[in-house]
Amino acid sequence: MEIIPAIDIIDGKCVRLTQGDYAQQKIYNERPLEVARAFEDAGLQRLHLVDLDGAKAGAVRNWKVLETLAGKTGLVIDFGGGIKKTEDLDIVFNSGAALATIGSMAVKQPEEFAGWMTEYGAERFLLGADVKDEKIAVSGWLETTDKWIYDFIEEYLQRGIRQVFCTDVSKDGLLQGPSLALYKNITGKFPQLHFIASGGVSGLDDVYRLEEIGCKGVIIGKAIYEGRITLQELSKIGQI
């Protein structure tokens, strides 16, 4: 299983939000490259990079951070936040992202997203699904749709998506454990999917439980920054 550390960016700095609330942000490091290199030195190979300024603005903002991290580390980076137009997508890929993370747009503009998958290749995209009570949430989790998570995944599997990560918004940033029941249902229904869990991881036990239920990867943010999981521990388990 892939261990994927997360870096969330506001004003070029590494921060974490609690349940997506910009009013509940904490700065962990003002030098994202330093953080990314520490991940790489620990033997991790991927990075989940989120442009929170871009997500709020509806257009990519922190692409310079992406360019620096992609140019000065060997990490495979997926980048999300504010990718709404083809121009944004081109900036992201030209700045060195291996994958573009798409969330709300896949819900609100599915045909345009389908066009991108045809043009760039579905394998270049990481589909993000924010979930509340098994329904898709969008717009920074402020709006819950009537779309069932399982229908959403099925729809995009049919379109060629290979990787999906899912965040239960009730768990994110709380360090209270991930939504094991939800993720077990997803991996059970879609065993062929490269499914990545996100949100709520509080320690190594959570990581092992996610592996046991069939997750192919896990995104870890606050647990690393708060010292619940150390880079030394992650370097030992690597890709479990």
Q: Provide the pLDDT for residue 141.
A: 55
| Chain Cα centroid distance, residue 154 | 19
Residue 43 pLDDT exceeds 90: yes
In the structure encoding, which two tokens stand for residue 193, read together?
A: 């999917």
Q: Output DSSP code: residue 122.
A: G
Q: How many CA atoms lie within 13 A of 101 on its CB side?
A: 24
Of residues 22 and 113, more confidence is placed in 113
Query: Among 51, 53, 78, 130, which one carries the catalytic annotation?
Result: 130
Around 118, how many Cα atoms within 13 Å sit in the side-chain half-sphere?
6
The arithmetic mean of pLDDT across residues 192-214, rounded, is 95
Asked: is 2-237 a CATH 3.20.20.70 domain? The reply is: yes
Q: What global pTM score does this model have? A: 0.93
Which DSSP symbol is given to 145?
E
Whether 140 shows a pLDDT value over 90: the answer reads no
Residues 6+ apart with CB under 8 A from 121: none
* Chain centroid offset of residue 47 CA: 9
Q: What is the mean pLDDT of residues 146-164?
A: 96
Task: With a cut of 80, say whether residue 60 has pLDDT above it.
Answer: yes
Confidence of residue 161 (pLDDT cuts 50, 70, 90): very high
DSSP H helices in the chain = 32-41, 52-57, 63-72, 86-94, 104-108, 110-120, 149-158, 180-189, 204-212, 222-225, 231-237
Let me know if 8 is a catalytic residue.
yes
Q: pLDDT confidence of 23, banded at 50, 70, 90?
A: confident
Q: In this structure, how many other beta carbons lie within 10 angstroms of the beta carbon of residue 71?
A: 10
Q: Which of 8, 51, 53, 78 is catalytic?
A: 8
